[in-house]
Amino acid sequence: MRSIYLDNAASTKVYPEVADLMTTTMLADYANPSAKHKMGVEAEAYYREARETIANTLKCKEKEIIFTSGGTESNNTAFMGTCFGMERQGKHIITSAIEHPAVYKPLEFLEQHGFSLTVLPVDEKGHISLTDLENAIREDTILVSIMTVNNEMGAVQDIAAIGQCIKAKNPKTLFHTDAIQAYGKMELRPKRDMVDLLSVSGHKLHGPKGIGFLYVDEKVKLSPLMLGGGHQNGLRSGTLNIPGIAGLGLAAKLSYSHFKEKQEMLYHLKDFFIDELEKIEGVTVHSEKGEASAPHIVSAAFQGVKAEVLLHALEERGIYVSSGSACSSNHPGISGTLKAIGLSHGDLDSTLRFSFSQYTEKRDLEECISVLKEELPVLRKFFKA
């Protein structure tokens, strides 16, 4: 039976070239990049090349890229590293109701330690209101964190408009965006969009797990969370993860190679899949067609069937999807994102996420639709939600 992997928002297949490069860094160029000898210098070259590559994709300076262990560390570093250093200026933070746990959990931690948190509502498509944002920004607002692409339904926020709104109301307020579902699938320009901090994770763009980066505008004063040998200009101590860094750098390069063609292919697949889903009785698609939502994520409710039941029915047929954020899979419960967009109780409990990559083929989606048409009537009859 052929496997059809439609859970790319959770993790992606590593590019073969990335795996090969990482093998080289572990078996041949394995020296400590801080060593002063030739092998150390050769290992450090991977770090410098990856930082240059990533900086080029964002049109920023190389020194503004800090490598981390992934998106969660990037988000935590952005929040703790700025907020505790800006307490004298203010203690007010703004975020949205549909952020990833790697954003709202550390912000809840800050709230428990004396900071004030405003959570902006979203509309039925997952978008915040710029009017709500403007009204929420105060003189003591030190940070706004709004994700670029929602990880569950693919809603795309107008980051440029948000950045402009923030800086017009309070130029001292920092703007962070969780771009973990956006980087590699969309063009991101933090300088242009007035973004001060931006988080990315490698395994979402055909890179390795356990590596990510944080973009920090050179004007931002960031206090390090990791103290030690003073690596990465003192902002993140610890021996550089050269296999991960090299792999992430190459994954970034490959993701943005022939980028428009890849992006158009993903939009075509998404729109096709939405059209076919909407032809099935009792299916409600939460994601929008076209560029109003991310090119690789489709969220849909299948009335009359519990999400977990349908997920495992598809798994039995070799089709792998998600019932929400994989990062929250060990803590089952109703999605905060789906609650925030106002879904009915039935839709909350019957929603699946399908997510694609450049390895996804149209025939994969055609087969998925065919299986759904076969399985849904049976499941609705015997496993009614």
Rounded percentage of the chain residues whose pLDDT exceeds 70 = 96
Q: Compute the distance between CA of residue 154 and CA of residue 266 in angstroms, rounded to an integer.
A: 13
Q: Compute the distance between CA of residue 246 and CA of residue 35 in angstroms, rounded to an integer.
A: 17
Residues of the chain with CATH 3.90.1150.10: 4-12+258-382
Would you give the distance in Å from CA 235 to the centre of its chain? 22
| Relative orientation angle of helices 307-316 and 362-382, to the nearest 10 degrees | 120
- Active-site residue, 368 included: no
Encode burial over 163-175: b for 16+ CB neighbours within 10 A, e otherwise: bebbbebbeebbb
pLDDT band at 42 (very low <50, low <70, confident <90, very high): very high
Tell me the pLDDT tens digit for each residue of 241-252.
Answer: 999 999 999 999
Q: Which of 213, 272, 274 is nearest to 77 (CA)?
A: 213
Residues of the chain with CATH 3.40.640.10: 16-255
pLDDT of residue 331: 44
- Which is more confidently placed, 66 or 226? 66
Output the CA–CA distances (angstroms, integers) from residue 257 to 51, 96, 199, 211, 260, in the order listed: 17, 32, 21, 21, 9
pLDDT (mean) for 94-115: 96
pLDDT (mean) for 168-195: 98
60, 165, 327, 368: which is the annotated catalytic residue?
327
pLDDT (mean) for 163-173: 98
- Considering the four listed CATH numbers 3.90.245.10, 2.20.25.90, 3.60.60.10, 3.90.1150.10, the one that applies to the domain covering 4-12+258-382 is 3.90.1150.10
The pLDDT mean for the chain works out to 94
How many Cβ atoms from other residues are within 10 Å of residue 366's Cβ?
A: 13
CATH number corresponding to 16-255 = 3.40.640.10
Q: Compute the distance between CA of residue 172 and CA of residue 330 in angstroms, rounded to an integer.
A: 38
pLDDT of residue 383: 65
pLDDT band at 330 (very low <50, low <70, confident <90, very high): very low
pLDDT (mean) for 235-258: 96
